[in-house]
Amino acid sequence: MSREAAIMGVPSYSFFRGQRGMVDESLESDGSLVMLTSAADVEAKLRLERRDTTAQAPDADKLVSNLCDQIEASGR
């Protein structure tokens, strides 16, 4: 669910320890997803702050563009 939250603009963090996919790497590179790989990362990167909780629809153009970029990059 962290990917979906990140695409919807919700601050997202992942503790996933396996091989990361291209979508995770893309979300991380644009700052939408923060990977936490150690206890030190939790302390340094995890931000607790109040935010506007008004639901926002995901940016469909960004989602489609991201998926197309990943497909093209994979050479399939």
Q: Lowest mean pLDDT: which of 2-11, 13-22, 49-58?
A: 49-58
DSSP state of 21: P
* Cβ proximity of 33 and 2 under 8 Å: yes
Rounded Cα distance, 17 and 12, in Å: 16
| pLDDT per position as a tens digit, 26-74 | 889 888 899 998 999 988 998 887 777 776 676 778 878 888 888 888 7
Q: Are the CB atoms for 2 and 13 separated by under 8 Å?
A: yes
Q: What's the pLDDT score for residue 70?
A: 80
Residues forming beta bridges with residue 73, ordered by sequence position: none
The three-point CA angle 7-21-41 to 5° equals: 75
pTM over 0.75: no
